[in-house]
Structure 1
Amino acid sequence: MTDDYFHVLNLIGVAFFAVSGTLLGYEKKVGGFGVVVVASVTALGGGSLRDLLLNEPVFWVADPDYLYSTYAAIFISVAFIRYLPHVSNYYFLLLDAVGMAIFNIVGIEKSLIGETGMLIAITMGTTTGIFGGLIRDVICREVPSVMRGELYASACVAGGLVYAALFTLGAPYIWCILGALFATVFLRMGALHWNWRPKIFKKRHYTE
């Protein structure tokens, strides 16, 4: 049952990120095959890096279901945009946040299955969650969200800490997933709505 949950969760995460990549490609007026490239890199990039770091078979090479999920999400998104071209940017941000949160959980889960420690699992979850979006933004000539001082990678870390806390307390598997998912999406969307920004460096005020 756990394997089924993991597989379905991964498929959903891939689909969400493929849709967010398609929406950004549309917004940036990327044409034809370029949209497929942007969406595919967004959907598959983070997980590919994770698997390479864990010395595991790359997930979409080992199981073509993830490619089917990616291409189906791209096709449906393109069809939707063709008939409803005025798509709000809010949907892109929401899908990106949910996709990031799901991939964060998948990265943590896959690391724990590989018997890493929880610290490595949280780091791997964050890497999985942000890397596809980072490549997407670079390809589309956007300043990557993770570099803007917003709650992006920090939201993944917070979600990972919630997962770790619930896991340590012996909470059921589904509650670990839901807790991490809610924390990540809430922090990411809350940061966009209320302009939450972590202040790492404090500005110094010099007096003459």
Structure 2
Amino acid sequence: MGGVAQQINLYRDKERSHAADAGARLLLVTVIGSVLVLVLIALVGEIYLHELTGDRVQVAERLQRQERALAEFNASLAPAPIDPHLEAELARLRDAQRYLNANLVALSGDAGVARGGFSEVFSGLARNTREGIWFSQLGLYGGGAEMRLKGRTTEPAMVPRLLQSLAVEPAFAGRTFRKVNFERHDSATGAVVDFELRSSASEEGDDAG
């Protein structure tokens, strides 16, 4: 009986040894598998990062090409030529406008010189001068009751607006211009329109003069 018990104990020791070896192998396989998984994840991340870097470089190169193309296109746009005759005419008209404005201000401030209430007419014109429209001639007849006004503008639509703004001036209230003439002068860079505003009595004054 003692020999049988000893054999059983030896068998159990071998089982425990085999179980320990199996556990160690399982642990080793698990560790190796975990390391392989980590290496695989790192490799995939490196590949993805490399692709992102390549995409970023391509986008940057494409952006640089587009910026160069835009700069070349902007450089190829030649400025529109300016008509020297039109520039000279506009400069002359601006000088004439400044001269007339100075005279209008002087006349409107001196009732003794501007007799018959003409100062109110000049004051009204002075308050309604603006960029793009010039007065070149003013004729007053019948003590200022009738008028002829000549000028130039770069925008014909400014003439109706001028008449609307003049209508609120005391010297122009109720005044009706029965004849309006326009003459357009075209050039390579734009157009200038001569205009003439007349009341019926001013035409008679011209004929009489």
TM over 0.5: no
Q: Larger RCO: Structure 1 or Structure 2 (Cα < 8 Å, ≥ 6 residues apart)?
A: 1
Q: Which has the larger radius of gyration?
A: 2
Q: TM-score category by the smaller chain?
A: under 0.3
More strand, by proportion: 2
Q: TM-score, normalised by structure 2?
A: 0.22
